[in-house]
Structure 1
Amino acid sequence: MTISTPAPEFDASAEVIDKKKRIFAIVGASSGNLVEWFDFYVYSFCSLYFAATFFPHGNTTTQLLQTAGVFAAGFLMRPIGGWLFGYIADKHGRKNSMMISVCMMCFGSLVIACLPGYATIGYWAPVLLLLARLFQGLSVGGEYGTSATYMSEVAIAGRRGFYASFQYVTLIGGQLLALLVVVGLQQILTDGELKAWGWRIPFAMGAILAIVALYLRRSLNETSDKKTREHKDAGSLAGLWKHRRAFIMVLGFTAGGSLCFYTFTTYMQKYLVNTAGMDTRTASVIMTLALFVFMLMQPIVGALSDKIGRRNSMLLFGGLATFLTMPILYTLKDVTSPYLAFALIIGALLIVSFYTAISGLLKAEMFPAQVRALGVGLSYAVANAIFGGSAEFVALSFKSWGIENVFFWYVSGMALLAFIVSLMLHSKGKEIQL
């Protein structure tokens, strides 16, 4: 006779409590992520107003090119930030890494908010602006990898695509909030006031919001365990080298994904004004609405990835971006209707969503826990610094040389690279478990 052992009684209340804790952790991590990206993107959206303050010589395109150069320089610090904060997160905990990064972003924003212009301190103005942006770039370089790792680790199994998509919800939300603040100031202040002092307000707001984010992150639970942090490979480049194939693959699809993302978000406002000839305020309204819709797309596409798989989601992004980027940019170049411009940008952002919604999670699934934050952060930061952060600079450079259309080919070519790399993802149809 076989004696059966009763199955343990299911504790529904414990599951509910656990779920609530995970959701709170997602919200807590996301809030800091939102503030980090708000501070970083404020620079891009306010550059139309402070470009002449720090770079008074040349025409509008030249001034924007110089501010875009500083924006791109901030991205060059990201690999260092990805390595430094990846090491801290893997060796000393995700929570500690996220708290330090938000403090650094607060400091950088405060410096820019108080920085005198070229007329007051001469060449020190652009130099100090550059240093502040490098400091912020170091912070954001560490933020992405750590927050992506943390959110993927606290997400509920089977719904990781949905929960992890909130990283880009808050990333886009930070960008959207920055744009909303600029649009709000445009309604209150004149162009003269914005150029004289109004552009400083968003940077001061970012510094204050960072303090709130720091308070929220203090309450987060650590997701890495002591055994993982004490692993001999924890946070080390030698340990990461053992997973170099995954590192190279992340570099490949991040290059195309980041370039497309920054082309249709931060650069698009300038493209509508500087190339299509739209009014600055009209372009700001279009991008505000577009980014809001883009933000709402993330959980939907993230949930879809839980059904169709990360690989299929990435293939959709790479394939559609390769064939549709050029037609979209060509049409936007001569667009006169704000409604048509909005529709085209939404179409482009929908394509990009197949990358952004699962970006952090996909990368986190490719590395083991002891080098996860380092692997995600460093690979993302390197590709983002070279291709994402330089998007505006490259686009404006081609425009200043009279060959703007070459930029369209460049974006499409990098999307094709992302598609090719995506073909190698999860070739057996199995998702890598965290």
Structure 2
Amino acid sequence: MATSPVAHSPLGIPKSRVRQLMAASIGNVVEWYDWYAYSALATFFSVQIFPPSADDPLLPLLSAFGIFAVGFFMRPLGGLLVGAFADRYGRKSAMTFTIILMGVGSLLVGLTPTYAAVGVLAPIMLTLARLIQGLSVGGEFAAATTFLVESAPKGRRGLFSSFQYVSTTIGQLIATGMAALLATMLIHADMNSWGWRIPFFVGAVLSLVGLWIRKGADETSAVAEEIQRGETKRPGLFEFLRSYPRSAATIVGITVAGTVAYYTWTTFLPTYANITVGFDKAQALQIGTISLLFFMILQPLAGMLSDRVGRKPLLIAFGLGFLILPVPLLGMLTDAYWSLLVVQLIGMVFLSGFTSISAAVNSELFPTRVRAAGAGFPYSLTVALFGGTAPLIGTALQEAKNPGLFPWYMSALALVSTLVYIFVLRETKDQPLR
């Protein structure tokens, strides 16, 4: 009896896999929109949530970025706990949990009262909201990236991996675009007073949409299903570390430069330009939106390239680029529109060598049994230590009158990762998932 042909998309991917890709990506858009709305709007709400300082006008913004960093330190816990949950009970259940958490956190940020109204309770409530969102984002990476890579057909793991940052960037684009639109439409006083709350309320509603969309996903972990049937023993919480310490350490080395470069170029650079050379806030948000659109387009192209030439060449190109370029690129920033645009676009090209394939590289280092926790925890820990603190370090160096040290800091971390790419990382593009 003849079998029915498998329907394919224009890219040659079975349509059943495309449905999986869309279920993960659309939910991820909502998840990361909520996360990035904070950084896009920090310059507006910081003066409302934190007490002003006549001696140090940067203090409220510095406090806001401090809480931004605190949220990152919940990400390793999310990567560990939600990752272990995903390994035991399945990726789909874990992704449902993370998007609910993110919606709650976004709603709390939008409802945070001002410092003038409730005093110290305002920054406390904001901190609680970011802790909830940090737990969600750490778990989201662990569950969604493994889900994406496990859903990929043969020879397409790099392409599927790239949609982690395609969807992340779409979420960030929506957050940044909404912030730019509100900043353009509202007068400065209204934006600072109440306009900044709107994107967080929108994010809470969108989380419900993402939850509904993810109901259509199919589970990808056969091991999790075996565990539920009692056919396989549950993995221990730190089994990935006991059994695969080299893989966990390799992820730290892979990620350390990439996370600082990513959060600097996609999140902090508009603010950095504002506090160092007096770049206009609204124009900086516009340029950030243009650059993110360019960055999003690059992701699947770089992912497909990695499926042809391998993961290591792209990572080495990224590492060498950020070893050499941060000092001259950030040094050429002025208050001219073109300068920030050129600096962001050049950085995005090299950054894509990391972001497009990090999900694939991390997932390929672990077997299915511990893949979510193994990929999620060391990655999220490194992001917390280096990515989440990048805006804080950059702002603190500006306050200390030493902004020129920040690009050197980035280059030093790029050197560490480049050595890992060249001498430690093994090529994995042609190896089957374990």
**CA 1:96 to 1:429, structure 2 compared with 1: closer, same or farther past 3 Å?**
closer
From 34, 39, 47, the counterpart of 1:44: 39
Counterpart-to-counterpart distance in 2, 1:141 and 1:256 = 18
Q: 1 CA distance for matches of 2:147 and 2:320?
A: 30
CA distance in 1, matches of 2:392, 2:7: 52
8 Å contact from structure 1 (residues 86, 235) kept in 2? no
Q: What amino acid is aligned across from residue 41 of structure 1 in structure 2?
A: Y
Contact 2:86 2:94 (C-alpha < 8 Å) held by counterparts: yes
* Deviation digits for residues 11-61 of structure 1 (CA, Å, limit 9, x no counterpart): 533667981111111111111111111101101111111101111222432
Residues in 1 aligned to 2:309 and 2:79: alpha-carbon distance in whole angstroms: 30
Q: Match of 1:12, SS?
A: coil
8 Å Cα contact 2:319-2:414 kept in structure 1:
yes
CA deviation map 1:375-420 (0-9, x unaligned): 1110111000000000000111111111111111110011111111
Which residue pairs with 1:54 in the alignment? 49
* Alignment partners' CA distance in 1, 2:95 and 2:365: 21
* Structure 1 residue 204, shift from structure 2 partner: 0.1
Partner of residue 189 from structure 1, selected from 186, 200, 222? 186
Q: 1:13 aligns with which of 1, 6, 15?
A: 6
Structure 2 distance, partners of 1:169, 1:366, is 22
Report if aligned partners of 1:109, 1:207 keep a CA contact under 8 Å in 2: yes
What SS does the aligned partner of 2:58 have?
helix
Residues 83, 378 of structure 1: 8 Å contact kept: yes
Alignment partner, residue 251 of structure 1: 252
What are the Cα deviations for residues 119-172 of structure 1, in whole angstroms up to 9, with x where unaligned? 111101101110110111010010011110000010121121112201100111
The aligned counterpart of 2:125 is: 128
Q: Does 1:205 align with 2:202?
A: yes
Tell me the matched-pair count. Answer: 425
- Alpha-carbon distance between aligned partners in 2 of 1:125 and 1:85, rounded to the nearest angstrom: 29
In structure 2, relative to structure 1, the CA distance for the partners of 1:425 and 1:305 (3 Å cut) is: farther
> In the aligned structure 1, how far is the partner of 2:394 from the partner of 2:431?
37
Q: Identify if the C-alpha distance between structure 1 residues 387 and 428 changes in structure 2 by more than 3 Å, giving closer, same or farther.
A: closer
The aligned counterpart of 2:321 is 320
RMSD of aligned residue pairs (Cα, Å): 1.8
Q: Which residue of 1 is the match for residue 291 of structure 2?
A: 290
Contact preservation (8 Å) 1:151, 1:164: yes
Shift of 1:187: 2.4
| Partners of 2:82 and 2:139 within 8 A in 1 | yes
Separation of aligned partners in 2, 1:419 and 1:391: 19
Matched, 1:173 2:170: yes
- Structure 2 partner of 1:301: 302
The AA in structure 1 aligned to 2:164 is: Q
Q: Who is 1:101 aligned against?
A: 98
Q: CA deviation at 1:424?
A: 3.5
Query: Per-residue deviation at 1:432?
Result: 3.3
> What does residue 3 of structure 1 align with?
none
SS of 2:332's partner is helix
SS of corresponding position for 2:167: helix
1:30 equivalenced with 2:29 (yes/no): no
* Distance across 2 between alignment mates of 1:169 and 1:12: 30
Structure 2 SS opposite 1:199: helix
Q: Distance in 2 between matches of 1:163 and 1:96?
A: 20
Compared CA separation, residues 81 and 68, structure 1 to 2 (3 A): same
**1:91-111 deviations in Å (ceiling 9; x for gaps):** 000000000000000001111
For 1:366 and 1:182, the matched residues in 2 are separated by 38
- Asked whether 1:158 is paired with 2:151, we answer no
Residue 277 of structure 2 aligns to a residue whose secondary structure is coil
1:239 Cα deviation (Å)? 4.0
1:241 and 2:236 aligned? no
Q: What amino acid sits opposite 1:34 in the alignment?
A: V
Q: Would the alpha carbon gap of residues 13 and 425 (structure 1) be closer, same or farther in structure 2, given more than 3 Å must change?
A: same
The aligned counterpart of 2:312 is 311
Paired residues for 1:207-222 under 5 Å: 207-222=204-219
- Tell me which residue corresponds to 1:403: 402
The DSSP-based 3-state class of the residue aligned with 1:265 is helix
Is 1:432 the equivalent of 2:426? no
Deviating more after overlay: 54-63 vs 148-157: 54-63
Aligned to 2:349: 350
Q: CA deviation at 1:278?
A: 1.2
Kindly tell me: are residues 153 and 190 of structure 1, through their superposed partners in 2, closer, same or farther at Cα, counting changes over 3 Å?
A: same
Task: Give me the identity figure in percent.
Answer: 37
| 1:4 corresponding residue in structure 2 | none
Other-structure match for 1:361? 360
Q: TM-score, normalised by structure 2?
A: 0.94
Provide closer, same or farther for how the CA distance between residues 45 and 426 of structure 1 changes in structure 2, counting only shifts above 3 A.
Answer: closer
2:266 counterpart letter in structure 1: T
**Long gaps (5+) in structure 1:** 1-7
2:60 to 59, 63, 76: 63
1:85 matched to 2:82:
yes
